[in-house]
Amino acid sequence: MNTPVEGFSKRSKAEKIDWIAQHYTKDPEAAKRILEQYWNTDPKVQKLHDEFIENTISNYYLPFAVAPNFLINDTLYAIPMAIEESSVVAAASKAAKFWLGRGGFKTKILGTEKVGQVHFMYRGNIQTLHTFFEELKPELRKSVSDITGNMEKRGGGIKEIQLRDLNDQMEGYYQLHCTFETLDAMGANFINSCLEQFAKTLKDEAQKYEAFSEEDKNLEVVMSILSNYVPNCLVRAEVSCQVSQLDKDPVAAEEFASKFVQAVTIAKLEPYRAVTHNKGIMNGIDAVVLATGNDFRAVEAGVHAYAAKDGRYTSLTHAAVEGDTFKFWIEVPLALGTVGGLTTLHPLVKLALEILQNPSAKELMELVAVAGLAQNFAAVRSLVTTGIQKGHMKMHLLNMLNQLGATETEKQQLVEHFKYHVVTNASVKEALEKIQSQ
Instruction: Confirm whether 421 is a catalytic residue.
Output: no
Taking CA 254 as the corner, what is the angle to CA 249 and CA 258, rounded to the nearest 5 degrees?
Answer: 145
Beta pairing partners, 165:
174
Q: DSSP letter for 5, please.
A: -
Active-site position among 16, 277, 392, 394? 392
Instruction: Confirm whether 392 is a catalytic residue.
Output: yes
Tell me, rounded to whole angstroms, the distance of Cα 368 from its chain centroid. Answer: 9
Residues 6+ apart with CB under 8 A from 164: 174, 175, 176, 177
Other CB atoms within 10 A of residue 199 CB? 19
Instruction: Confirm whether 49 is a catalytic residue.
Output: no
Active-site position among 106, 279, 318, 411? 279
Query: How far, in Å, are 233, 236, 243, 249, 295 from residue 287 at the CA level?
Result: 20, 18, 30, 34, 11
Instruction: Confirm whether 279 is a catalytic residue.
Output: yes
Determine the Cα–Cα distance for residues 402 and 389; give it in Å rounded to an integer: 19
Active-site position among 85, 247, 255, 300? 85
Helix ranges (H only) for 38-125 are 43-50, 88-100
Cα-Cα-Cα-Cα dihedral sign, residues 45, 51, 57, 60: negative
Active-site position among 295, 346, 366, 394? 295
Q: What share of the chain is helix, strand, coil (3-state, %, to 5)?
A: 55, 20, 30
Query: How far, in Å, are 173, 182, 249, 273 from residue 164 at the CA level?
Result: 9, 23, 57, 36
Q: Which residues are designated catalytic?
A: 85, 279, 295, 392
